[in-house]
Structures are given as structure tokens and as C-alpha cells.
Amino acid sequence: MSEVGVTEAEQRRAQEQVLDVREDVEVADGMIPGALHIPMRQLTSRLPEIDRTRPVIVVCRSGHRSARVADALIGAGCTAEDTMAGGMLAWERAGLPVR
């Protein structure tokens, strides 16, 4: 697992999966276009929704939860997992798109 900055995540999001692990109330304010939303607490039950053959960039609010989720994805046999440094707070500060 490694950490990528928001600029790199923006560049890679078309080819990789972006997994937003924030709670429903957090994503109500917006999320990265094209991201899959699975709250961290639902990860185990919704794991089949993640394509284990494609790299995943895990996103949360500030970057703390995403590291725990990335570790869980590694344990579940996903190919490559990265976390986004600073989470959605950094994404929004950079003025990147949200839906």
C-alpha cells in the first residue's frame, strides 16, 4: 500500500477504481465523480462490488480510515491499493471536481 496525492489520484481515476469509504452523511456534500461509495462499516458485506483485478484508490475524509480499508483489501486479495493523502478535504482544497 502506498499513498498518492490528489493530483496523481485525479490523473489515475479514469483507469483505476476510486473507493469512497466515508459515511452516507459525509458523501452528501459530494464525492469524486465515478467513485464507488461503500462506507467502511459495510466493506465486508459489499466486498464483491469491488473489482479485485483493478487497482483501487481508497478515499475517506482526511486519510485515516482509508489506510485501514486498504489493509483489509490487501487481505481480501485485491491487486493494488493506494490511499489518497489528505482525503476529500485535500481534494476539495485543490479545487478538483465533485459530484
Chain segment 27-45, per-residue pLDDT in tens: 998 999 999 999 999 999 9
pLDDT band at 52 (very low <50, low <70, confident <90, very high): confident
Is residue 60 part of the annotated active site? The answer reads yes
d(C-alpha 60, C-alpha 21), whole Å = 5
Contacts of 63 (CB under 8 A, 6+ apart): 3, 83, 84, 85, 86, 87, 90
**Domain at 2-93, CATH homologous superfamily:** Rhodanese-like domain (3.40.250.10)
Tell me which of 60, 69, 70, 84 is the catalytic residue.
60
What's the pLDDT score for residue 21?
A: 97
What's the pLDDT score for residue 97?
A: 93
What's the pLDDT score for residue 63?
A: 82
Local structure of 61: helix, strand or coil: coil
pLDDT average, residue stretch 8-20: 94
